[in-house]
Amino acid sequence: MAEQQNGCTPSDCASCAQGATCGKKPVDLHEPANPYSHVNKVIAVVSGKGGVGKSMVTASLARMMREQGFSVGIMDADITGPSIPKMYGIHESAKGSDAGMFPCEAKDGTRIMSVNLLLEHEEDPVIWRGPVIAGVVKQFWTDVMWGELDYLFIDMPPGTGDVPLTVFQSLPVDGVVIVTSPQDLVRMIVKKAYNMAEAMHIPVLGIVENYSYLKCPDCGKKISVFGESHIDEIAEELGVPVLGKMPIDPALAEAVESEKFYESDNQYLSGAVNKL
């Protein structure tokens, strides 16, 4: 897992000849959860680049698990581009007590924390430097009272910068879901995300392809808007499952636009239920 320094893990140390004397023993950088949080599984949703619909996939996975009867939270770690609260029609401010901050609860019971719930006006831009942003994400773990959760999904900012690094090092992430779209650079981009997770010793649970195709409303033909998909080959090469292929679906876009994602019923990822 993320207990590493100089590329070593505790299990590496156990079998290393220098294990007893090495001054570079792994340091556990994990931050403690808020005492009022009991989270069973933490899943980070990542993408190697922006614009692939990562928030859509995060919320879709959360919805799916919610529909299965699990208690679910979403941590919106995309601090400079938060979109989760609006998808669920949440515009209020998060409340707090001496013990920490309460996540806001969506109409389907999904608990949400996002920087937008802490800003005076939700249109205010977040103009903070990387370390400050990373610190806020850490606080979403240490200071938020998530309560009992079966799943906490983290909507990560795109790429492999400060925030993903902080999340992987500081939070007990159980697995990563990689989101991508069927475009030319996809092989390289997926591999970047995969390699980052591997470097942090976090298992990749699978890949979701978004914008896979568009179904013609008249004849039902599938149109590959962004080119032919290569996700099956890439997933096989990496030895990870494809959790689903999501088409461009106007019903999903409408659920976001109308801020009623809590009503959306996305079947495209149903194959992922047993893999999370």
Ligand X SMILES: Nc1ncnc2c1ncn2[C@@H]1O[C@H](COP(=O)(O)OP(=O)(O)OP(=O)(O)O)[C@@H](O)[C@H]1O
Please state the residue numbers annotated as binding site.
48-55
**Complex with ligand X: residue 1 or 179, whichever CB lies closer:** 179
Binding mask 171-210 for ligand X (x = CB under 6 A): ---------------------------------------x
Q: Which is nearer to ligand X, 237 or 257 (CB)?
A: 257
* Residue 169, both tokens: 């090092």
Looking at the Cβ atoms of 118 and 214, the one nearer to ligand X is 214
Q: Which stretch binds ligand X (CB under 6 A): 51-59, 117-125, 137-145, 194-202?
A: 51-59
72, 154, 189, 256: which one binds ligand X (CB under 6 A): 256
Contact between 89 and ligand X by CB under 6 A: the answer reads no
As measured in angstroms, the least distance from the Cβ of 223 to ligand X is 13
Distance of closest approach, residue 156 Cβ to ligand X, in angstroms: 8
Q: How far is the CB of 58 from ligand X (least distance, A)?
A: 8
d(CA 210, CA 207): 10
The annotated binding site for ATP is made up of 48-55
Binding-residue total with ligand X (CB under 6 A) = 20
Instruction: List interacting residues with ligand X (CB under 6 A).
Output: 47, 50-56, 78, 81, 83, 158, 210-211, 246, 248-249, 252-253, 256
